[in-house]
Structure 1
Amino acid sequence: MMTKMLKTAAAVLALALAAGPAVAAQGDFLVRLRAITVQPQEKVGPVLPTFPTSGGSITNAYAPEIDFTYMLTDHIGVELIAATTKHCVEGGGALAGVGRLACTWVLPPTLTLQYHFAPEGKIHPYVGAGVNWTMFYNEKASTQLNTAIGATNVNLSNSFSFALQAGVDFDISEKMFLNLDVKYVDMDTNARLTTGALVNNLRADINPLIIGVGVGWRF
């Protein structure tokens, strides 16, 4: 999937370099639609107290993402990012033999304040920083975990922290542009695993790197 994304980006970039410049200005409203890959830079702790020598990893995900940017000035914009992805925890250490432990859907709305370096010209790089609120929903223990230790209920705590962003817009026409975007989100959760009267806890620092390629429209 990433190979296709990069090939698409290269093709549209060629069109962008041949296009005339479009001026980004105060009051502009930008809408971008991206294909993203979410790659957790994770650190998964043990399942305590039952499996102190366990560990794990978190799967990557691919999804569409939409964002909305309003230009407060020619250089300053504020962006709201919305997407939802599904991730699973794979067991490690003492739980490596179980395999998949649980899966959850993640909804991480993110608000960033951006600085746009070149409002005039064909290429518009920007950087941003802001806040992220991550909600975990539809958490479910895997069949493998239920078989190994019994029917288990999974609950994940939400996360609130910072986000960093860098990207660039390449003009295709006066209103349309190609977008490349990278975000880092500081994200963590505490998982509560309830199996009958037994309660286990697991802490995971997820900290995803989110890489996106897409198109946008300027209004």
Structure 2
Amino acid sequence: MPGLAKRAFAEWLGAAFLLATVVGSGIMAQKLAGGNLALALLCNTIPTGAILAVLILMFGPISGAHFNPAVTLAFAIRGDATSRDAAIYVIAQLAGAIVGVWVAHLMFDLQVWQLSLTERTGTGQWLAEAVATFGLLLTIFGVAARTPSALPYAVGLYITAAYWFTASTSFANPAVTVARSLSDTFAGIAPHGVAAFIVAQLIGAILAIPPARWLWAKAT
């Protein structure tokens, strides 16, 4: 297994590329969609699902390609990661995600430091985040247990689908949520909505652990 510094750097760089894609494709979609929100969301969805598959293929052999504190927490609870490694992963993920947002702003000649004004709140959105994260963790645990080579594509396809079947467009990631609060663009979320999203995401991740252990007991 690679050293912790190399693994943490992979998590940082992967999270940065993920957020540069989420925010950058959202900015591009808003520019080109002519006010058609469905088209803009589709143009935001496809690059996000695609980059996830690429990043997991690229960094999975190094760090496991979590890019997500909820995933890291679930692995730590299952005993697949130490608390020290998990803490460093989470710091790297958060830092990388924020850098990715800033890079996206720079690429589109926008002000680097921003706070989102997009309201995303309410019980429906919170439930959506719990469901989205629950499903993401089941996807990871289930596919990793039986067909690990398919995991990059499964995660990318799951997030692509979850953008559309959840009311929140499936953030499903605390680092993504924090970073997107720093972008007043198509993908943004107002900072005061962040805490509830993260709580819902962590609940969804934790709830996925027992059924995953039961469903794939022999493999996990």
Q: Which TM-score bucket, shorter chain as reference?
A: under 0.3
Structure holding more helix per residue: 2
Q: Normalising by the residue count of structure 2, what TM-score does the alignment of the two structures yield? A: 0.26
User: Higher Cα Rg: structure 1 or 2?
Assistant: 1
- TM-score after normalising by structure 1: 0.26
